[in-house]
């Protein structure tokens, strides 16, 4: 217990909070939002970037982010080398292992920090650093960049693991029951969870325990969006016997509010300015989503058949798809059906690789969103009041689709997502979303969720209260 004079000294100095994001583009983007939010509460925030290698886009993205945000204190720990025994395509395991490889540098950084940090906030990929925090006597927290429902599943995952003796993958389409969330078909779980003995599964099982050993779970969502999952976690229903449940702090959506988002001059924003209110469907599939050439052509034909206005972010297929006759340097036109760009000119806009998604979803001309269900994308759609068609692709997105469709009722799925989404389905669902009574009801529900999100973030709202409570804990 601090003496009164010690408490006064503590109040006088600014409290330092260290945030350790994973080196993935979307988690780095979130780190700026979280950093700015905490800094607005008079905390001195250091964003310490672990697990960078010199050969990834995310590594150089971190450099750019640090340069673009001089108001935040970024510390880029030295590059680490890729683990040799993990296949390069195993992105999840790579990200966990790269973060772990930075732990000794992180330990040195924290040891040298003066004053000693009040809290160490970890991205889930950096969960192994819980031990570093414990060793140095710094309370560790997690910042969970996905949903409360996903957190419920992750905490509960060791129980599912114990109840089965074979890989979940072999249970076929069987439904899993986790307290607080809709039943999930096994093949909608993240791939790593499905393979009992995979390193990925073992890392998530360890993460579940690391989370229980932390001081608290900060989540980028808000209680009224996912009340059942929040209550189940708080009641300890998701935590295996013998483990404690750290308190969840639901402080989201942690994304810049629409008021702060300014147009940044991208050509697609000027194009949107010229379109009627809520008339454009936006298609974008996260920082890594790519389709095969065949799937890309199905989307193009579907959009054309739908007759709707569209803004579509297209990436080239993985690996150049030589078998498709594509030259790696061929333009987008060569990837799309012949004459597609000319026929849809004016009605649609195709943007290569990247669009300013937050600004797009905040634009009044956008009336629908075909999304891969990454959690940041979901929150950005909710904040823009834009109804969603769910087309999950990788990571935990299939699970997010289940939450969005079954629990939150804020999306309708594109059923072909496990194999190929045919042009007819794209056309029918996009038309349904933009023109039908059902689509209008979905838009109304999404706008209601937007109002709830804004309410949660307003003074006295549930998320801002949860954040104040967290900051108060750190300042004690």
Q: How far is the CB of 323 from ligand UDP (least distance, A)?
A: 26
Count of residues making up the chain: 476
The Cα-based distances of 37 to 44, 253, 263, 458 in angstroms read 11, 11, 21, 13
Q: How far is the CB of 321 from ligand UDP (least distance, A)?
A: 20
Residue whose CB is less far from ligand UDP, 47 or 232 = 47
CA 4 – CA 9 distance, rounded (Å) = 9
Of 410, 417, 415, 416, nearest to 394 by C-alpha is: 417
Structure tokens at 312: 């579509």
Q: Which of 9, 41, 123, 157 is catalytic?
A: 123
Q: How far is the CB of 30 from ligand UDP (least distance, A)?
A: 7
Residue whose CB is less far from ligand UDP, 94 or 287 = 287
Residue whose CB is less far from ligand UDP, 52 or 290 = 290
Q: How far is the CB of 356 from ligand UDP (least distance, A)?
A: 6
List residues near ligand UDP by CB under 6 A: 26, 29, 284, 286-288, 313, 354-358, 374-377, 380
The Cα-based distances of 241 to 152, 169, 216 in angstroms read 15, 25, 18
Q: How far is the CB of 393 from ligand UDP (least distance, A)?
A: 8
Q: Which of 27, 215, 298, 363 is catalytic?
A: 27
Residue whose CB is less far from ligand UDP, 344 or 376 = 376
CA 266 – CA 268 distance, rounded (Å) = 5
CA 98 – CA 53 distance, rounded (Å) = 8
Active site residue 27: yes
Position of minimal CB gap to ligand UDP:
374
Of 21, 24, 22, nearest to 288 by C-alpha is: 24
Q: Which residues on neighbouring strands pair with residue 144, listed in sequence order?
A: 219
Residue whose CB is less far from ligand UDP, 26 or 103 = 26
The Cα-based distances of 214 to 61, 99, 307 in angstroms read 29, 17, 52
Residue whose CB is less far from ligand UDP, 202 or 266 = 266
Burial of 410 (0-12, 13-18, 19+ CB in 10 A): buried
* Residue labelled with tokens 């909608």: 188
Q: How far is the CB of 358 from ligand UDP (least distance, A)?
A: 5
Active site residue 266: no
Q: Which residues on neighbouring strands pair with residue 250, listed in sequence order?
A: 219
Q: Catalytic positions, please?
A: 27, 123
């Amino acid at each position: 217990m601090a003496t009164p004079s010690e408490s006064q000294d503590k109040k006088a100095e600014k409290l330092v909070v260290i945030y350790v994001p994973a080196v993935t583009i979307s988690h780095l983007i979130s780190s700026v939002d979280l950093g700015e939010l905490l800094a607005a509460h008079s905390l001195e925030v250091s964003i310490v970037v672990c697990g960078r290698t010199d050969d990834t886009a995310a590594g150089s993205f971190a450099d750019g982010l640090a340069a673009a945000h001089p108001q935040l204190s970024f510390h880029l720990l030295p590059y680490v080398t890729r683990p040799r025994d993990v296949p390069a395509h195993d992105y999840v395991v790579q990200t966990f292992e790269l973060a772990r490889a930075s732990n000794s540098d992180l330990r040195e950084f924290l040891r040298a920090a003066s004053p000693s940090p009040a809290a160490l906030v970890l991205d889930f990929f950096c969960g192994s650093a819980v031990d570093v925090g414990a060793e140095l006597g710094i309370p560790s927290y997690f910042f969970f960049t996905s949903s409360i429902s996903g957190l419920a599943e992750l905490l509960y995952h060791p129980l599912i693991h114990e109840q089965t003796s074979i890989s979940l993958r072999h249970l076929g389409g069987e439904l899993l029951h986790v307290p607080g969330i809709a039943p999930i078909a096994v093949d909608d779980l993240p791939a790593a969870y499905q393979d009992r003995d995979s390193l990925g599964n073992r890392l998530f099982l360890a993460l579940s325990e690391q989370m229980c050993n932390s001081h608290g779970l900060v989540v980028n969502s808000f209680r009224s969006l996912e009340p059942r999952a929040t209550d189940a976690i708080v009641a300890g229903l998701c935590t295996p016997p013998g483990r404690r449940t750290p308190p969840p702090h639901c402080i989201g959506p942690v994304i810049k509010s629409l008021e702060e988002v300014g147009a940044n001059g991208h050509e697609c924003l000027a194009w949107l300015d010229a379109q009627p209110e809520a008339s454009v469907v936006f298609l974008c599939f996260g920082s890594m989503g790519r389709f095969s050439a065949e799937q890309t052509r199905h989307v193009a034909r579907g959009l054309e058949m739908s007759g709707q206005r569209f803004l579509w972010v297209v990436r080239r297929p993985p690996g150049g798809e030589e078998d498709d006759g594509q030259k790696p340097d061929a333009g987008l036109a060569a990837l799309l059906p012949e004459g597609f760009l000319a026929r849809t000119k004016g009605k649609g806009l195709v943007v290569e690789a990247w669009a300013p998604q937050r600004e797009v979803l905040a634009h009044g001309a956008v009336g629908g969103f075909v999304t891969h269900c990454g959690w940041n994308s979901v929150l950005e759609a909710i904040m823009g009041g834009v109804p969603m068609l769910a087309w999950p692709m990788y990571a935990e997105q299939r699970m997010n689709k289940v939450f969005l469709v079954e629990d939150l009722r804020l999306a309708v799925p594109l059923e072909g997502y496990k194999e190929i989404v045919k042009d007819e389905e794209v056309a029918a669902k996009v038309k349904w979303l933009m023109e039908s009574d059902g689509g209008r009801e979905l838009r109304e529900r999404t706008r209601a969720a937007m109002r709830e999100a804004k309410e949660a973030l307003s003074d006295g709202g549930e998320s801002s209260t949860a954040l104040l409570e967290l900051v108060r804990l750190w300042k004690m």
